[in-house]
Amino acid sequence: MSLKNAADRSVRSSWSLAARLTAWNAGSAFLLILAATGLLYWALVRNVDLEDDQTLGDKVRVLRVALLKDPDDTAAIRQEIEGGWEARQMHVYVRITDNQGKVWFQTPGMDQVLPPTAFRAPTAEPSEGSDVRSPLGRSFRVLAVQVGDSMGRSPAVIQVGMDRSQEVEILAEYRKNLWAVLGVALLACTAISYQIARRGMQPLHRVTATARRIQPTNLGERIDRNGLPAELLALANTFNGMLDRLEESFTQLARFSADIAHELRTPVNNLRGGIEVALARSRTPEQYREVLGSNLEECLRLTRIIDSLLFLARAENPSKQTAKETFDVGVELTTVCEFFEAVASEKRIELTVEVRGKVRANLNRALFQRAVCNLVANALTHTPPGGAVCLRALANPGATIVEVVDSGCGIPAAHLPHVFDRFFRVDQVRSSSGGNLGLGLAIVKSIVELHGGTVHIESMVGQGTRVTMSFPEQMTKA
Ligand SMILES: Nc1ncnc2c1ncn2[C@@H]1O[C@H](COP(=O)(O)OP(=O)(O)OP(=O)(O)O)[C@@H](O)[C@H]1O
Ligand SMILES: [Mg+2]
């Protein structure tokens, strides 16, 4: 447990996926809300400005008409400036000066709130106003317009200003409310995003929980794929596939251990039985020699089993690269053929080598010979007198093919998928008593796979068997 914790700690943990999703979702949603409220606020301010400019512009236009109509009708102009419900309600201030800045008329008290310097240079037509602050700290929207006809009559400047303190206060209040709403929105976005991320991650937690539950004792358990999103379905399939392979390997391993125990038990029992019988009473030297001879046979069988298993274990996990050399496959097959010549002729079996063209291979010579020897030994064992065994080699594009074909008894189709399994013999009883271990083809398979190749067997009962080894080209290049 402590080791596991230490291992967990050694993995530098970064932000969890749920936290990242929450941050991204909440961040983007909040940014959208921020942009939308900002835009709405800007549109509101712009509307207020336009409305105020419209009021100021209307005022200027009315005054300009009055000025141009009769500049000497001071009563009418004064009435226009001071009077009017609208002007008083909206706190509109008006000043009319000549071009030199001499004041003709102005709203009473305007000097204190809006001195002439608060205005920009006059424009010919009422345009966009500007915002100013009075010395007393009040906010105003102001506009200055030049008045005068083309004849140069009544040249004057109209300055109008409007007290906007109330509007500014309302906008400030509105802004305060907006910030409060944005704060709540940020919290809401985070909470909702977290819920969404948590729900989205639930199937992943399910997968993790299943993976955590799986032990060597319950390798049959699989991830439930029902309701999994498409992204996790591929992961679940891969994971389940891995479990299938693991389960198969575990079962094979368990069977293999049982098989080893079984295979070792027979020679050890024979040894023990022989010794016990010999020790039961005194024996003649010949009888002891006989017992020792049969014990030696059992010991040799044990040695063969152990050597073969050791070889298979090493071939499965090679500690170093197998040394390879380039050789003529035809020559090697002929050597093997000569080795079995005596056995073949004793059984009256025709043993031949067929090599199409010059076939060279880059393999481990000793392992290659061992594989071919195992195949030829099998073929000779299962071919009746008068039959034939042929060793063939040919260089196909991309691969070197080596075949051992016999005209023997063949293997029933039901057994064919198992012949490469360890300790498998078609006739378990007869083969094991005859000294066969059932490891020959397993060794052939591991030798071929060690060289990156494949091995294939075809057989017809009563007609014969063909075992084909295929070594890939890169392995066969000189
Ligand atoms: N050429 C063949 N013809 C018929 N049956 C075969 C042939 N080769 C293999 N078999 C069958 O496949 C089984 C497995 O062969 P394998 O070479 O692995 O083991 P074995 O020959 O029984 O023992 P070992 O080779 O370890 O001494 C054999 O027991 C035999 O029944
Ligand atoms: Mg064999």
Task: Pick 230-315's CATH classification: 3.20.20.210, 1.10.150.120, 2.60.120.380, 1.10.287.130.
Answer: 1.10.287.130
Q: What is the pLDDT of residues 248-274, one digit of tens each?
A: 888 888 888 888 898 889 889 999 999
Cβ(97) – ligand 1 distance below 6 Å:
no
Whether domain 15-213 has CATH 3.40.50.300 = no
Q: What is the pLDDT of residues 214-228, one digit of tens each?
A: 888 888 889 888 888
Cβ(453) – ligand 1 distance below 6 Å:
no
- Ligand in closest contact with the CA of 379: 1
What ligand 1 atom has the least distance to the C-alpha of 431? 22
Residue whose CA lies nearest to ligand 1 atom number 28:
425
Ligand 2 centroid to Cα of residue 378, in Å, is 5
Where are the CATH 3.30.565.10 domain residues in the chain?
A: 322-476
- Ligand in closest contact with the CA of 409: 1
pLDDT band for 103, please (50, 70, 90 cuts): confident
Residue whose CA lies nearest to ligand 1 atom number 9:
378
Sheet with 103-106, edge to edge strand ranges: 103-106, 92-98, 156-163, 139-147, 130-133
Cβ(436) – ligand 1 distance below 6 Å:
yes
Tell me, what amino acid is at 156?
A
pTM of the model: 0.59
Where are the CATH 1.10.287.130 domain residues in the chain?
A: 230-315
Q: What is the mean pLDDT of residues 452-476?
A: 90
Asked if residue 367 lies in contact with residue 450, where contact means CB atoms within 8 angstroms, the answer is yes
What's the Cα-to-Cα distance from 293 to each of 43, 76, 299, rounded to whole Å?
Answer: 110, 148, 10
Q: Which residues pair with 224 in a beta bridge?
A: none
Cβ(409) – ligand 1 distance below 6 Å:
yes
Strands 156-163 and 92-98: antiparallel
At residue 74, the pLDDT reads 76
453 pLDDT more than 70: yes
| Cβ-Cβ contacts under 8 Å for 261 (sequence gap 6 or more) | none
Cβ(425) – ligand 1 distance below 6 Å:
yes
Q: Which residues pair with 106 in a beta bridge?
A: 95
Whether domain 322-476 has CATH 1.20.1260.10 = no
Where are the CATH 3.30.450.20 domain residues in the chain?
A: 15-213
- Ligand in closest contact with the CA of 438: 1
Cβ(411) – ligand 1 distance below 6 Å:
yes
What ligand 1 atom has the least distance to the C-alpha of 408? 3
What's the Cα-to-Cα distance from 13 to each of 9, 161, 212, 294, rounded to whole Å?
Answer: 8, 64, 19, 65
Q: What is the pLDDT of residues 26-38, one digit of tens each?
A: 999 999 999 999 9
